[in-house]
């Protein structure tokens, strides 16, 4: 495995690639050299077996290598495509393109070159040339045929001449030499010999024949002549210059079969020319026979070069295809793994170009994804914990929400009731289902509950905190609520709704009223008791004076009566006040000029207290209103009385009016000493006074008149000092 | 319709292939009359190679190039229920070369690479006979063979397979191919059979 990795590593090493190309170049150079050498070879060496063998087997090895490389890669591609491996189709296209681009021109070149070669070799065997050579050869052979025929004819004639000879007789044998000499001269032969069987018997040689010694025909030649009746030979040692013809001497008496050998020499020049003609023709014929070998010897280097180029180009194609597709496959595989959630995936492919950048980016992206996922998981855990905590808190809040005595209702900016606790439902006499999720206009459509809607709308318009006391007739019972409306804000500070807190004051007010009435009764009793004491004391003094019979009885009676009258008068005033409070008429609203009313009232106080100015600030939009003018004048007088009295010179009392979203506001402010907070709560109770004198019914009457107008009044601190009473009256 | 047409074309193609094969087979060289003779501690072979001298061979001979006919022999032990067991191999080469100057054919005979005979013939007919007619050519030496097959050869039935190689050619100008006859089998014999 390590070895494989090392090899794979080397395979990607640029040095190995350069080395491979260098070797390829060397091989191609060697092939070129071989081709060049082949061109210079003489035709006889074209068939050099070793060269052909080497070329042939190099080609075979190359073809096998190409088949192996292609087969392996095609097999791999088929398997990859069958298994649907990503990138296999792209790789196939790339491979086909590369190999096709390389294969087509190389093969085209090879076939064109082959055709040219074949044509060139075919031209060697031009019919004209061949005919010339053939004719030359025919002439040469014909010349030899004539010599052969002449020799055989001469041999036949000589044989006839020698028929009567008996070689067994010595005398005839001795005469044989002279006879042969005669025949040699007669037939113009160069050599004449007689063999007994295969044994030399007698021979004559013409001196000018050019033969230094008599030729020695081989035994087979003689035997052939005996068996076949004639034999012809061109002894190789004479290089075609001597022709021997042999015939058996059938008519000659001999113990062994005698053979006559006739030798004819050919002129050396003629023999040489004949030899050249014959050999040239034969060489031509050899080339012709070896045409396919010849063609192969030229084609094989071309084929080898072609195969080398195909192999190199295919390999380069495969290499480039792999260079492109392997990173893509790795990226696709990595993407698939990431899609399956494996963020540990890293593409471990070496690529130096844009693909390398892509791989690096992919790995960085994966790392970031992993980091983000971890962060997300951490955040999720924190979120879950937070949610859990929030759920707990929400449950706690809900529990608190449900268990608090105050009614709590939350409304979104569109006026839909979001929450409503049990206390609120009980206070308003509505089910939670009738409230939650419903619009306030629908939930509070009835006139009484509509007041809550008005308040809420006011709060929405005001965008501030609103606190009101409100009386509602619910299910036939008057109920008094203190309603506090505040805004809910989200994290960005935007108003996300309103919270309405209802606190039922009915029982509290009843209790307060009871206490107030008790206090009032105590005070009334005290007030009644106060005049009674001087009345009783005056009555007792008058009785004592009467019993004592004093001289000053009359004066005492006068003084006593005066005191009693004064005290009774005081009691009457007090009783009248209560009577008026008790007999407060129902308001009769009419359209009045509010400015006029304010001006008329303030005129009463002009210069009433030195150093205290009475100012007005009237809103033209609040010029008119539908109110009971008399009652409202009484309200203003009471408030102005108190304000002027509370303001020490230099000071200022201001009455202002304004109109705000269907509500009329009348504010009376002073720059006096102000009212303590604990006293503010009791200000509007009957017979409560901070002045230490008076009946303490003024503000109670004011409160009652405002309430009768369905309005509210509240006392707040004036800035920078003093008190401001604000009356809010609905305009509709 | 298409199927019928396809069958028709297929039939024509098969018929053409068969006819071509038969025609080619008629002209193919064959090794005939393979006979085995045992004597003088030798197994001698007689055979005749037919259809060997075609125009191509004659042209080659006439060109003066060495022209070789190689006869390959293999001696087998006959097995009835299994493949025959090879006992020995032998090669007999006949190489002819024409000398156009002297107008002679020099014929060399080699047995297992060793020159056994040289003959000079002037006639093509004689040359053909010399090259294609094997007459009791000693191929296997029983003295050499006996140690290998001492126990079995004398009792077992033997046979000789022979084939002639007429030369080589090139397929697609590149791949060398041999022109050969089919392997032929001799009759089965025993070493102790009388000749």
Peptide bond into A668 cis (omega under 30): no
Residue holding tokens 């005033």?
A: A573
The Cα–Cα gap between B183 and B165 comes to 10
Alpha-carbon separation of residue A242 from A138, A192, A215 (angstroms): 19, 12, 9
Residue A40 has pLDDT above 60, yes or no: no
For the stretch A405-434, pLDDT in tens is 888 898 888 889 988 888 888 888 888 888
Our measurement of the distance from residue A688's CA atom to the centroid of its chain's CA atoms, rounded to an integer in Å, reads 79
Mapped onto helix, strand or coil, the DSSP state of residue A714 is: strand
Q: Which of B62, B122, B175 sits opposite A285 (nearest CB)?
A: B62
Residues of B in contact with A111 (CB under 8 A): none
Question: For residues B88 and A99, which has the higher predicted lDDT (pLDDT)?
Answer: B88
Q: Which of B63, B102, B173 sits opposite A236 (nearest CB)?
A: B102
The answer to whether B163 and B90 are in contact (CB under 8 A) is no
Our measurement of the distance from residue B27's CA atom to the centroid of its chain's CA atoms, rounded to an integer in Å, reads 16
Question: For residues B39 and A574, which has the higher predicted lDDT (pLDDT)?
Answer: B39
For the stretch A548-591, pLDDT in tens is 776 777 888 888 888 888 888 878 877 777 777 667 777 888 89
The DSSP secondary-structure symbol of B181 reads P
Question: For residues B131 and A553, which has the higher predicted lDDT (pLDDT)?
Answer: B131
pLDDT value, residue A41: 46
Residue holding tokens 């080469």?
A: B93
* Spatial CB neighbours of A496, under 8 Å, sequence gap ≥ 6: A412, A413, A488, A489, A490
Q: How confident is the model at residue A62 (pLDDT cuts 50, 70, 90)?
A: confident
Contact A282 B102 (CB under 8 A): no
Q: How confident is the model at residue A171 (pLDDT cuts 50, 70, 90)?
A: low
Question: For residues A5 and A559, which has the higher predicted lDDT (pLDDT)?
Answer: A559
pLDDT value, residue A358: 84
Highest mean pLDDT among A123-132, A433-442, B19-28: A433-442
For the stretch A673-710, pLDDT in tens is 888 887 777 778 766 666 655 667 788 888 888 888 88
Contact A56 B101 (CB under 8 A): no
Q: Choosing among A121, A244, A289, A296, which should be mutated to test the B contact, i.e. which has the most B CBs within 10 A?
A: A289
Q: State mean pLDDT over A640-656.
A: 90
Contact A285 B102 (CB under 8 A): no
Highest mean pLDDT among A153-157, A534-538, A728-732, B90-94: B90-94
The answer to whether A443 and A417 are in contact (CB under 8 A) is yes
Contact B174 A137 (CB under 8 A): no
The Cα–Cα gap between A27 and A21 comes to 10
Mapped onto helix, strand or coil, the DSSP state of residue A588 is: coil
Mapped onto helix, strand or coil, the DSSP state of residue B137 is: strand
Residue holding tokens 């990138």?
A: A87
The Cα–Cα gap between A169 and A254 comes to 9
Residues of A in contact with B103 (CB under 8 A): 141, 144, 234
Contact A292 B102 (CB under 8 A): no
Can you say whether the dihedral through the CA atoms of A445, A451, A454, A459 is positive or negative?
Answer: negative
Q: State mean pLDDT over B148-155.
A: 59
The answer to whether B22 and B137 are in contact (CB under 8 A) is no
User: pTM of the entire structure?
Assistant: 0.52
β-strand A590-593 against A624-627: which pairing, if any?
Answer: antiparallel
The answer to whether A161 and A183 are in contact (CB under 8 A) is yes
Q: Choosing among A46, A56, A125, A282, which should be mutated to test the B contact, i.e. which has the most B CBs within 10 A?
A: A282
Question: For residues B3 and A6, which has the higher predicted lDDT (pLDDT)?
Answer: B3
Cα angle for residues B128, B133, B134 (degrees, 5° grid):
140
pLDDT value, residue A680: 77
Model ipTM value: 0.78
Residue A12 has pLDDT above 90, yes or no: no
Alpha-carbon separation of residue A57 from A39, A299, A304, B85, B177 (angstroms): 21, 13, 10, 33, 14
Question: For residues A46 and A285, which has the higher predicted lDDT (pLDDT)?
Answer: A285
Question: For residues A91 and B28, which has the higher predicted lDDT (pLDDT)?
Answer: B28
List b or e across A546-556, with b for residues whose CB sees 16 or more CB atoms inside 10 angstroms: eeeeeeeeeeb
* A227-231, A294-298, B96-100: least confidently modelled range: A294-298
As given in the structure block, the two tokens for residue A550 are 């004093």
Residues of A in contact with B175 (CB under 8 A): 56, 60
Question: For residues A631 and A300, which has the higher predicted lDDT (pLDDT)?
Answer: A631
Q: Choosing among A44, A52, A67, A278, which should be mutated to test the B contact, i.e. which has the most B CBs within 10 A?
A: A278
In this structure, what is the dihedral angle of CA atoms A302, A307, A313, A317, given to the nearest 10 degrees? 160
The answer to whether A602 and A569 are in contact (CB under 8 A) is no
Q: How confident is the model at residue B95 (pLDDT cuts 50, 70, 90)?
A: very high
Q: How confident is the model at residue A45 (pLDDT cuts 50, 70, 90)?
A: very low
Q: Nearest residue of A to residue B172 by CA position?
A: A296
Q: Nearest residue of B to residue A52 by CA position?
A: B174
Q: How confident is the model at residue A46 (pLDDT cuts 50, 70, 90)?
A: very low
* A381-390, A574-583, B7-16, B118-127: least confidently modelled range: A574-583
Q: Nearest residue of A to residue B55 by CA position?
A: A289
For the stretch A353-399, pLDDT in tens is 777 888 888 888 888 888 888 899 899 999 899 889 988 888 888 88
* Spatial CB neighbours of A643, under 8 Å, sequence gap ≥ 6: A653, A668, A669, A670, A672, A723, A725
Residue holding tokens 């597709």?
A: A325
Beta bridge partners of A495: A489
Residues of A in contact with B102 (CB under 8 A): 233-234, 236, 240
Environment class of residue A39 by beta-carbon count within 10 Å: exposed (0-12), middle (13-18) or buried (19+)? exposed
Q: How confident is the model at residue A254 (pLDDT cuts 50, 70, 90)?
A: low
Mapped onto helix, strand or coil, the DSSP state of residue A630 is: helix
For the stretch A206-220, pLDDT in tens is 888 778 788 888 888
Residue B169 has pLDDT above 80, yes or no: no
Contact A275 B59 (CB under 8 A): no
Q: Which of B63, B170, B176 sits opposite A285 (nearest CB)?
A: B63
pLDDT value, residue B70: 94
Q: Which of A137, A274, A289 sits opposite B65 (nearest CB)?
A: A289
The answer to whether A97 and A338 are in contact (CB under 8 A) is no
């Amino acid at each position: 495995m390590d070895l494989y990795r090392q090899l794979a590593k080397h395979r990607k090493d640029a040095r190995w690639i350069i080395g491979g190309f260098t070797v390829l170049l060397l091989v191609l150079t060697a092939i070129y050299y071989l081709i060049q050498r082949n061109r210079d070879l003489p035709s006889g060496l074209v068939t050099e077996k070793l060269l052909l063998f080497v070329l042939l087997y190099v080609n075979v090895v190359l073809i096998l290598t190409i088949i192996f490389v292609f087969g392996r890669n095609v097999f791999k591609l088929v398997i990859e495509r069958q298994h649907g491996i990503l990138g296999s189709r792209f790789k196939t296209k790339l491979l086909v393109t590369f190999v096709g681009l390389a294969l087509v021109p190389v093969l085209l070149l090879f076939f064109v070159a082959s055709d040219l070669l074949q044509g060139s070799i075919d031209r060697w065997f031009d019919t004209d040339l061949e005919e010339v050579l053939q004719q030359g050869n025919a002439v040469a052979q014909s010349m030899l045929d004539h010599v052969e025929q002449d020799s055989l004819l001469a041999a036949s004639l000589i044989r006839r001449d020698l028929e009567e000879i008996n070689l067994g007789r010595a005398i005839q044998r001795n005469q044989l030499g002279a006879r042969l000499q005669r025949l040699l001269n007669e037939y113009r032969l160069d050599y004449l010999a007689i063999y007994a069987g295969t044994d030399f018997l007698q021979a004559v040689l013409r001196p000018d024949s050019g033969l230094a010694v008599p030729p020695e025909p081989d035994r087979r030649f003689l035997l052939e002549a005996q068996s076949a009746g004639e034999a012809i030979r061109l002894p190789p040692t004479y290089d075609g210059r001597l022709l021997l013809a042999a015939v058996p001497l059938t008519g000659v008496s001999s113990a062994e079969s005698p053979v006559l050998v006739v030798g004819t020499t050919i002129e050396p020049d003629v023999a040489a020319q004949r030899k050249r003609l014959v050999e040239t023709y034969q060489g031509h014929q050899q080339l012709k026979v070896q045409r396919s070998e010849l063609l192969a010897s030229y084609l094989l280097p071309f084929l080898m070069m072609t195969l080398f180029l195909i192999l190199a180009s295919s390999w380069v194609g495969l290499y480039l295809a792999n260079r492109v597709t392997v990173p893509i496959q790795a990226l696709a595989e990595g993407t698939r793994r990431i899609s399956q959630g494996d963020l540990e995936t890293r593409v471990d492919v070496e690529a130096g170009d844009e693909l390398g950048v892509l791989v690096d980016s992919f790995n960085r992206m994966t790392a970031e994804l992993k980091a983000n996922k971890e962060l997300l998981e951490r955040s999720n855990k924190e979120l879950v914990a937070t949610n859990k905590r929030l759920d707990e808190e929400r449950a706690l809040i809900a529990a608190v929400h449900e268990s608090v005595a105050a009614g709590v209702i939350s409304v979104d900016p569109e006026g839909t009731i979001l929450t409503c606790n049990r206390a609120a439902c009980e206070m308003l006499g509505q089910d939670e289902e009738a409230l939650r999720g419903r619009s306030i206009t629908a939930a509070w459509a009835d006139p009484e509950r509509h007041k809550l809607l008005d308040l809420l709308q006011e709060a929405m318009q005001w965008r501030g905190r609103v606190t009101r006391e409100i009386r509602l007739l619910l299910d036939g019972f008057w109920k008094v609520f203190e309603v506090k409306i505040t805004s809910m804000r989200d994290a960005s500070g935007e108003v996300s709704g309103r919270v309405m807190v209802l606190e039922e004051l009915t029982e509290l007010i009843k209790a307060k009223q009871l206490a107030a009435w008790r206090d009032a009764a105590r005070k009334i009793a005290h007030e009644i008791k106060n005049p009674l004491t001087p009345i009783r004391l005056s009555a007792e003094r008058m009785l004592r004076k009467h019993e004592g019979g004093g001289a000053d009885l009359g004066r005492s009676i006068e003084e006593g009566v005066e005191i009693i009258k004064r005290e009774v008068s005081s009691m009457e005033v007090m009783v009248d006040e209560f009577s008026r409070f008790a007999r407060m008429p129902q308001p009769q609203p009419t359209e009045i000029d509010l400015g006029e009313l304010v001006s008329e009232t303030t005129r009463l106080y002009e210069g009433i207290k030195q150093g205290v100015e009475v100012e007005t600030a009237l809103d033209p939009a609040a010029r008119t209103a539908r109110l009971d003018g008399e009652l409202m004048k009484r309200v203003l007088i009471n408030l102005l009385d108190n304000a002027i009295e509370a303001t020490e010179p230099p000071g200022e009392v201001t009455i202002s009016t304004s109109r705000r979203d269907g509500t009329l506001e009348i504010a009376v402010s002073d720059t006096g000493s102000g009212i303590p907070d604990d006293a503010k709560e009791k200000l509007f109770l009957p017979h409560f006074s901070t002045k230490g004198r008076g009946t303490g019914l003024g503000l109670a009457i004011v409160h009652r008149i405002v309430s009768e107008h369905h309005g509210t009044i509240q006392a707040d601190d004036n800035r920078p000092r003093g008190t401001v009473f604000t009356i809010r009256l609905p305009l509709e | 319709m298409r199927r019928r047409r396809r069958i028709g074309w297929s039939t024509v193609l098969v018929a053409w292939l068969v006819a071509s094969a038969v025609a080619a087979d008629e002209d193919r060289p064959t090794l005939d009359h393979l006979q085995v003779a045992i004597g003088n501690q030798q197994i001698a072979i007689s055979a005749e190679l037919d259809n060997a001298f075609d125009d191509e061979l004659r042209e080659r001979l006439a060109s003066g190039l060495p022209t070789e006919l190689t006869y390959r022999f293999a001696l087998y032990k006959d097995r009835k229920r299994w493949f025959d067991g090879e006992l020995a191999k032998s090669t007999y080469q006949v190489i002819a070369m024409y000398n156009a100057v002297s107008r002679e054919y020099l014929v060399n005979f080699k047995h297992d690479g060793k020159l056994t005979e040289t003959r000079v013939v002037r006639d093509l007919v004689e040359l053909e006979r010399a090259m294609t007619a094997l007459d009791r050519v000693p191929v296997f030496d029983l003295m050499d063979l006996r140690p290998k097959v001492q126990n079995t050869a004398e009792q077992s039935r033997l046979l000789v397979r022979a084939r002639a190689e007429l030369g080589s050619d090139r397929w697609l100008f590149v791949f060398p191919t041999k022109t050969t006859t089919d392997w032929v089998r001799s009759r089965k014999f025993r070493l102790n059979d009388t000749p």
